[in-house]
Amino acid sequence: MLARALEELRGSLYNELRTSEGAKRQQQRLCGPVVALTFNFLVSVGIIMGNKLVMGKVGFNYPILLTLIHYTSAWLLLAVLKALSLLPPSPPTKTTPFSLLFALGAVMAFASGLANTSLKHNSVGFYQMAKIAVTPTIVVAEFILFRKIVSFYKVLALAVVSVGVAVATVTDLEFNMFGACIAIAWIIPSAINKILWSNLQQKRNWTALALMWKTTPITIFFLVALMPWLDPPGALSFKWNLNNSMAVLISALLGFLLQWSGALALGATSATSHVVLGQFKTCVILLGGYLLFSSDPGYASICGAFVAICGMSVYTSLNINETRDASNHIPKQTFDNQNEKTVANGV
């Protein structure tokens, strides 16, 4: 009897994972907002260290090529999962136009590639200013595309977060014209990239891995096209010894985990919440350096980080209250509908 029950459970789980809807439900059960955001936060900190090692100590100063290696490695890992039948199925083709997947793959290439190029050509302060501009861009873009309206209190909390992060991180604004153009060009693709990742998972039953499998080849194509324009010459003459190769491979593995965790976080929350998580990470790194390693970012930076974290706490609280209100409202509607059906049947 127990063996039969276990076999039926295994069969039901297998059938559940054979459909896009079932795989999406499993992703939601196993990776809720807290798990997804925590996973993404930890990987983000790790890849910062990995990329600093690769582009600093190793001297691999080819940001688009590094991004291309990340996505190619991710696609190879996804191909292995596909061969082992571990990759979640995609929704039916008719539910998602190819043009939408193509657009996501393209903007993902520009968002990732231009971010690394901007960091190379601009100071950290100017790079952070561009990141802060992504938040209002997402709010405006979601209103234009989906008529999504953000409450006044959320806008106020996001404004506090942006001001706090600006005070905490923007210590210099050194840039050249090329770097400034790259930073400005990166803002819109970054915002659209996050919006599409979130919308396709929440509205069209895509899982993170299935969406990565479909869009990564398109991203690779556009990165190959961008590389001659944005990377400096000399990539083929780079010294590929064992240590350098291992550093790049570790960075590539972290890049896959970052893409996966970011997709999970966007599927579990929203584009705006994902940006706020990135700003929270920046503040934690700044305050952690001050508390643990006695670094001195300055009084203004510390105050700015605390202000930003307070704004993030208010924003998170507003999101939790909205989710609770929505979950309380749905059962009430269902109960009212059932009562109406009962009355109708009685009549």
pTM here is 0.80
Answer left, alpha or beta for residue 231, where phi above 0 means left and psi between -120 and 50 means alpha: beta
| Structure tokens that stand for 312 in this block | 């993030």
Calculate the alpha carbon distances from 104 to 163, 222, 314 in Å. 30, 11, 31
Indicate whether 13 pLDDT > 60.
no
Instruction: State residue 341's pLDDT score.
Output: 42
Instruction: State residue 88's pLDDT score.
Output: 87
Contact yes or no for 17/86 (Cβ under 8 A):
no
Higher-pLDDT residue of 295, 64: 64
Non-local (6+) Cβ contacts of 336 within 8 A are: none
- Distance separating alpha carbons of residues 146 and 206, to the nearest angstrom: 18
pLDDT digits (tens, 9 = 90+) for 192-248: 999 999 999 888 889 999 999 999 999 999 999 999 988 888 888 888 888 888 988
Calculate the alpha carbon distances from 174 to 5, 125, 134, 212 in Å. 66, 8, 20, 35
> Which residue type sits at 3?
A
Contact yes or no for 85/142 (Cβ under 8 A):
no
- Mean pLDDT (whole number) for 155-172: 83
* Closest among 70, 40, 55 to 258, alpha carbons compared: 40
| Structure tokens that stand for 206 in this block | 């895509």
Q: Among 138-142, 171-175, 262-266, 305-309, which stretch is predicted with the lowest mean pLDDT?
A: 171-175
Instruction: State residue 11's pLDDT score.
Output: 52
- Distance separating alpha carbons of residues 56 and 50, to the nearest angstrom: 10
- Distance separating alpha carbons of residues 99 and 264, to the nearest angstrom: 22
Per cent of the chain over pLDDT 70 is 84
- Mean pLDDT (whole number) for 25-50: 82
Instruction: Report the largest interatomic distance among the alpha carbons of the chain, rounded to a whole angstrom.
Output: 84
Residues in the chain, how many? 347
| Structure tokens that stand for 122 in this block | 């601009």
pLDDT digits (tens, 9 = 90+) for 39-91: 988 888 788 777 777 877 788 888 899 899 999 999 999 999 999 988 888 88
Non-local (6+) Cβ contacts of 78 within 8 A are: 87, 209, 212, 213, 216
Helix and strand numbers, DSSP H then E, in the chain: 12, 0
Instruction: State residue 68's pLDDT score.
Output: 94
Q: Which residue has the tokens 């890992």?
A: 77
- Mean pLDDT (whole number) for 100-126: 86
When mean pLDDT is compared over 12-16, 126-130, 293-297, 304-308, the highest value belongs to 304-308
> Which residue type sits at 310?
C
334 falls in which pLDDT band (50, 70, 90)? very low
Beta-carbon-side half-sphere exposure of residue 68 (alpha carbons within 13 Å): 17
| Structure tokens that stand for 285 in this block | 């790194």
Indicate whether 4 pLDDT > 90.
no
DSSP code of residue 91: P
CB atoms within 10 A of CB 40: 25
Mean of pLDDT over the chain: 81
Indicate whether 36 pLDDT > 50.
yes
- Distance separating alpha carbons of residues 97 and 78, to the nearest angstrom: 22
Contact yes or no for 169/282 (Cβ under 8 A):
yes
170 falls in which pLDDT band (50, 70, 90)? low
Contact yes or no for 263/112 (Cβ under 8 A):
no
323 falls in which pLDDT band (50, 70, 90)? low
Q: Which residue has the tokens 């930073």?
A: 183
- Mean pLDDT (whole number) for 93-112: 90
